[in-house]
Chains A and B, each alone.
Chain A
Amino acid sequence: MRLTKKRVIILLMAILVLLLIWFCNFRPKTESQSPKQEAGVSFSNVYLVGNESGVKQWELVSKSLKQDGDKFHLDDLEYLLLLENSKPKYFVEAQKGLWDRKAQVLTLDNDVVVDDHKGFRLLTNSLLWYTEEDVFYFHGDTIVTFEEGGVANE
């Protein structure tokens, strides 16, 4: 078979198309070499409020909030305030927190303090607040100091 000019051009074009297909499908991935993007959105100076039937039940203030799906990382938590009948009831402090919006659970870690400013003060290392059940679960060694009658006469 003689290689005519026309055949050479067709052959070169076919090779070029094959190269193009290979390049598109099998080229080395370069994503891992680029800096990894963190998922979610970050906010600073956050003020969150939880309402029930239009009545404020709690408020949370944090210097930073990082969203990761349904989870919110609160690395610089200032305070959490629980209210009853629109009045402050428990002031909660911790160094960091993780708010799971789907499970409605706030996990607080590192020197957690619950204080009612009436003589009741709970200190623990880790505390889970199940917001729908209105209950704290505390972990590890825990100390509570109290004064008699702190809530009885309200």
Chain B
Amino acid sequence: MSNLNRLLLGLVVCLLCVTGITESGLANEQKEKQGQLEIVGVPAQAVAGTYYTKTDVFYADVQDIEGAFVRITYDDLVIIGRVVEWRRKDNYLKVTVDASLEQKDMNIIADQIEYFTEEERLLAEGNLQVTTEDATVYADRMVHLEKEEKTDFFANVAVHITDGKLFGDHFVIYSAEDRMEFIGSFRGEFDR
């Protein structure tokens, strides 16, 4: 094979690689995130919710219907509750009354769970209990940033680990690095 042929072959391979990378990048960018909201256990004649057609605000309230609940599935998130407010224009979701969230590595129980779908920012507060693979965390409120894989817990934080309990005011979990840390002072109680 002459040098010219080798050069041409090399150019073609490079072009194919570049094209492939660009197309895959575009495909990822264009991928739409899909979700589903189900209102379950509501008798046929009972009002399950409302939808305001001008403002695109969706409400579901099934707290007075025994056994009824709302389940939202979004990517790898499953959020369950009995009262849901969904402001579509703001990409904002608020779930209250028996609210819980399940994710691949984290389960949340709280009085209120808010999720900003575009930013992938999650807020939870009130009787908060978060269970991860390594610990169970109690706090007044939490902020989870999905893109940064970081979760902050604020106020009255109690972390229950296998052989002890840790108490402080600001606790952070860095999921990607598999690391946890307290910001500021904290107190520990360990089992012998």
Q: How large is the interface on B (under 10, 10 to 19, 20 to 34, 35 or more residues)?
A: 20 to 34
Task: Determine whether the beta carbon of B52 is less than 8 Å from that of A139.
Answer: no
Task: Determine whether the beta carbon of B46 is less than 8 Å from that of A139.
Answer: yes
Chain B residues with Cβ below 8 Å from A147 are 32-35
Number of interface residues of A (CB under 8 A): 30
Task: Determine whether the beta carbon of B50 is less than 8 Å from that of A134.
Answer: no
Asked if A47 lies at the interface with its beta carbon under 8 angstroms from chain B, I say no
Residues 13-66 (chain A) with a chain B CB within 8 angstroms? none
Complex alpha-carbon distance, A82 and B32, angstroms: 25
Task: Determine whether the beta carbon of B32 is less than 8 Å from that of A152.
Answer: no
Asked if A135 lies at the interface with its beta carbon under 8 angstroms from chain B, I say yes
Chain A residues with Cβ below 8 Å from B39 are 141-143
Chain A residues with Cβ below 8 Å from B10 are none
Chain B residues with Cβ below 8 Å from A126 are 44-45
Task: Determine whether the beta carbon of B48 is less than 8 Å from that of A148.
Answer: no
Asked if A151 lies at the interface with its beta carbon under 8 angstroms from chain B, I say yes
Task: Determine whether the beta carbon of A84 is less than 8 Å from that of B40.
Answer: no
- Enumerate 26 A-B pairs (CB-CB under 8 Å) in ascending A order: A89-B53, A120-B88, A122-B51, A124-B48, A125-B44, A126-B44, A135-B52, A135-B53, A136-B50, A136-B53, A137-B47, A137-B50, A138-B47, A138-B48, A139-B44, A140-B45, A140-B46, A141-B38, A141-B40, A142-B39, A142-B49, A144-B36, A146-B36, A147-B35, A149-B91, A151-B88
- Contacts from A to B (Cβ < 8 Å): 82, 84, 89-90, 114, 119-120, 122, 124-126, 134-152
